Structures are given as structure tokens and as C-alpha cells.
Chains A and B, each alone.
Chain A
């Protein structure tokens, strides 16, 4: 399960599809169809798509909060999810998921929320607690550990939620428009912090966004889903050198070409 063979991709989606509705073919509504995607260890993949293209559904499938109707998910060479297989949300703590809502437990303080994933696996040891404290500091909430979620701003709750996902160290982190509802300044700050964390923690990140700038600024690769049912319509390698400055990404050489390609795809103009 934990082989780190570089030839085996970390995550592989094999003709993944999901549809809702009745048993007859004509009654079914297909959301995603024939999704093939290979993600390597340490990669930052951003996922875009017009609304309704199934971006969140794709993350839900990978997080196994939804079951696919067809295809398989292969994690480190093992089939972990597929049509008819039992669901294992979070894939045995291998896949972390930062959802659109922060989903912090409202009756626990930020610090208790941060320890929640650790406490599920038994009593947190000193190393765990040190890691939690360091993460709290890295997301800039050291002074807010004793506060309850409702006392925090939206951006702070997002940071707390991100720290909660990183604290138990899942190799893959899924993020669903985590910065969508934030003001531009907060968002730029969080993007920069996220890149730092990603580089420090060597995580593999799949990041859904509707913002082309964000997709280019963060990703090694941009995936565009489109159509109904959604399919992978475009896979674009982003060759802008790191470290990048998300706020000034539009000044980077090569940005314009990438931007135009993604926008054309999102608008449904084949090149």
C-alpha cells in the first residue's frame, strides 16, 4: 500500500464515471463519464470547468464520499474504489479533503478541531501535538486556538480547516474552491501560504477553482472538465518557474498563452 515506486503513479483514475437516477439507461443522468487522469507524487493539479461540469463530484469520488457508477480509482497501485465496491471515505486517512464549507465542529475550539482527526486514531502523542502547534502557527492562528469557529472570520476558518486536514498528514489533499468566497487580498495571502505549505509538506494536491489566474498560479498542471456529462477536455502543463507569486502571476512569461487556452476551452471555443 505504501510503496513509493516512482513508476507507479500515486493516483490513477481509470475511466471513472458517475450517473444518478433510475435503473434504465434512458432514465439516468450522467454527471461524469470516462475520466482518465494520472497524478504523480508531489504534483499540484488544478481542476477547472464550467459550472455543472462535475468538478466537486470528481473530488467527492476521489474522497470516496460518493461511489462511482463505472471505472476505478487506483491509489499507489491498489484499486481503492470502483463501481460496486464498498465506500471508504478518506481512503483510510490517505486522502484529505478541504471542502467548500469549512465544516469545523461548531462546539469545539480551533485547537480542539485541529486535534480532532488525531484523537480519532487514539490519544495524540507529543510529536502529534507539536505538529498541530506548528501548523496552527503556519496558518497564522496561534493566537486563536482557544476561540470557537463562529468567532473567526471566513478566511480564518478556511485556514483552520486546512490545518485540520494537514495535521494527520494525508499524502493527497483535495481542495474544493477553498478560497472562492474570500476577498481578493485574503485570497492572495492564502494562495501564497498554501504554496509554501505544499512545498514544505511535499503533498499531492488536487485543487478545484473557477478562477483561471488561480489555476495557473498554483498548478503544475491544469485540467479542464467540460460537457455534459463532464469529461477531461484539456490537460495543460504550466511551465511557469517556481517560486511563483500568485498575486502577480499575470506578469509571468507564458501566462497569456495558458490563460487564452483555458479560457477558450471554458467558453467552448475549440482552437
Chain B
């Protein structure tokens, strides 16, 4: 067991190491390849002053949040439907496995072909990315529900509805959270790639615009922003996990 102070110290040392590596790379390769931390920080500040930083984060954040929410709902619903009917399961499972193995970013041209270059294909891409990750986690989560707990609740007089609410949902919740945790970086990648293609705003747009102008600082600024977004969301999920999951689930 490492103490809490030890963990914090390890994190600080890790950060210092990464920043040192970044700065060294910048000095060795030159600022056109790797801009220095100071330059990127200055860019962050100036963009914040102009207000573009917040507009970019808001645009990407909304796309990311809507897509994740849709993917979460559809993914867990699909898992429940398949688990409820073994016939539907056997019918659809091979197709789902096949579709799951298609790299979602490879679908971008198709989505653009179908839905044009508006908001719809972008949200679609993020949702699809999240959907399959949440689906597979929830699907295995349903199999992992302890049937003995279900039977115990039934013996204690629980109705089917009470079993769902008091046993099934609490058992599934950690799996859904893990699904979200795994899906987040992918969802953000999808959002940013979607923004490369067509958008007037957003982190992806900022990165793409900077690339077109050979502005290395701008590209790094976008990457830092995207990373920060994922870290913040992960932190949010960790807080959610901490406040909603009590005791210890057997699979944890």
C-alpha cells in the first residue's frame, strides 16, 4: 500500500518528468517542431482573453456530451434488449460483432455522404463510437449480475420491478461507468476528427486551422485543450463513481 502522500508525490514527479521531456524536445528539435511549454501557455492565455478558448471548449464539449449521451442510452438499451431475448441475441450478435470491428473513424466519408457536413454526422460519429463500447461493457455486465442476489430478493418478496431497481441497476452501474471511462477518449477523438472535416468552431477546428497555417503552437494548444477535456471528464466520472458506488461490488 502506498500512502496518499506517496501517490501525490508520484503524480507530481510524473508531471515534472513529462514537462522536462517536452521542454528538452523543444530545445533539441526547435520550436517549429515542438514549441515550448511557455509558448503554448501564452497561447492558452491569449485565447482565453479573446474568448475563443471557451467557445472552442463549449462547441466541442456540447458535441462530445450529446454524442456520449446518445451512445450511452442506445448502447445500454441494445445490451438489455439482446439479453432479454436470446432469439434476438442469436440473430443480431454476429452482425453486432462485425459492425463493432469496423473502425468508426473509417465511417466518416459515409456519414458525410448520408448526412452532409452539418451537426448530424458529427454527433452520429461520436454516438457510434460510444455506443459499441458501452454496449459491450453493459452486455457483459448483465451476465455478471449475481443470480443469487436476484433469487434472494425474490424470496424476500421483491417484485420484478423491485428486482430491476434494487438489484439489477445497482449491479450494472459500475459496468456502465467503466464503459464511459473507456469510451471517453475515443468519443473525444471522434468529436475532434469530426471537427477537422467541417466546423467553424471547436477544438478540432482550432487544431486544423493552426495546421493549415503551419502554426505549431496552435496545434499544441489544441492538443493540450483536448487532453484537459478528457482529464476533466475522467475526474468527473471518478467523483461519480466515488459518490454513487458504495461498499464493494464483487467484480471490482
Contact of B155 with A105 in the complex, beta carbons under 8 Å: no
Contacts of B247 in A (CB 8 A): 105-109, 148-150
A17 within 8 A of B: no
* CA gap between A149 and B166 in the complex, in Å: 17
Interface string of B214-252 (1 = CB under 8 A from A): 000000000000000000000000000000011111100
Chain A residues near B250 (CB, 8 Å)?
A: 106
Cβ contacts A83-121/B at 8 Å (1 or 0 each): 000000110110111010101011111000000110011
Smallest Cβ-Cβ distance to A167: which chain B residue: B156
Contact of B151 among A65, A105, A107, A109 (CB under 8 A): A65
Task: Determine which of A92, A97, A105 lies in contact with B149 in the assembled complex, contact meaning CB atoms within 8 Å.
Answer: A105
Whether A120 and B157, one on each chain, are in contact in the complex, defined by CB atoms closer than 8 angstroms, is yes
A114 to chain B, nearest CB (A): 11
Asked if B177 is at the interface (CB within 8 A of a chain A CB), the reply is: no
With contacts A120-B162, A148-B246 taken as known, whether A105 is within 8 angstroms of B154 at the C-beta atoms is no
Interchain residue pairs with CB less than 8 A apart (10): A93-B156, A96-B155, A103-B149, A107-B249, A108-B246, A108-B247, A116-B156, A117-B156, A120-B156, A148-B248
Contacts of A97 in B (CB 8 A): 152, 155
Q: Which residues of A contact B (CB under 8 A)?
A: 63, 65, 89-90, 92-93, 95-97, 99, 101, 103, 105-109, 116-117, 120-121, 148-150, 164, 168
Point out the residues of chain B lying under 8 angstroms from A116, CB to CB: 153, 156, 166
> Which size class do B's interface residues fall under?
20 to 34
B151–A89 touching, CB < 8 Å: yes
C-alpha gap A101/B167 in the complex (Å): 17
Q: How far is the CA of A31 from the CA of B202 in the complex (A)?
A: 67
B158 proximity list for chain A (CB < 8 A) = 120
Which chain A positions have C-beta within 8 A of B167? 105
Min CB distance, A123 to chain B, in Å?
14
Q: Please give me the residue from chain B that is nearest to A89 by CB atom.
A: B154
Contacts of A63 in B (CB 8 A): 155
Any chain A CB within 8 A of the CB of B50?
no
Shortest Cβ distance from A97 into B: residue: B155
- CB neighbours (8 Å) of B154 from chain A are 65, 89-90
Q: Complex: how many Å from CA A120 to CA B247?
A: 21
Shortest 3 CB-CB contacts between residues of A and residues of B: A148-B247, A90-B155, A89-B154
B-to-A contact residues, CB < 8 Å: 146, 148-149, 151-159, 162, 166-167, 170, 245-250
Residue of B nearest to A94 (CB): B157
Known: A99-B148, A101-B148, A103-B152. A93 touches B157 (CB 8 A): yes
Q: How far is the CB of B143 from chain A (nearest CB, A)?
A: 17
A65 touches B157 (CB 8 A): no
Question: With A106-B247, A106-B250 in contact, do A121 and B157 touch (Cβ < 8 Å)?
Answer: yes
CA separation between A148 and B250, bound complex, in Å? 12
Q: How far is the CA of A103 from the CA of B154 in the complex (A)?
A: 12
Kindly list chain A residues whose C-beta atoms are within 8 Å of the C-beta of B157: 90, 92-93, 117, 120-121, 168
Q: A90-B157, A121-B157 are in contact. Are A106 and B249 (CB under 8 A)?
A: yes
Q: Is the CB of B170 within 8 A of A107?
A: yes
- Chain A residue nearest to B250 (CB atoms) is A106
Whole-angstrom CA separation of A117 from B248 in the bound complex: 20
Q: In the complex, how many angstroms separate the beta carbon of B251 from the nearest chain A beta carbon?
A: 10
Nearest chain-A residue to B149 (Cβ)?
A103
**Which A residues lie within 8 Å of B146 (CB)?**
103
Q: Complex Cα distance A116/B144, Å?
A: 22
Q: Which chain B residues border A149 with CB–CB below 8 Å? A: 247
CB closest chain-A residue, reference B170: A107
Contact A107 B149 (CB under 8 A): no
**What's the least CB distance linking A106 to chain B, in Å?**
5
In the complex, the chain A residue whose C-beta lies closest to that of B171 is A107
A1 to chain B, nearest CB (A): 15
Q: What distance in Å separates the Cβ of A58 from its nearest Cβ neighbour in chain B?
A: 15
Whether A107 and B245, one on each chain, are in contact in the complex, defined by CB atoms closer than 8 angstroms, is: yes
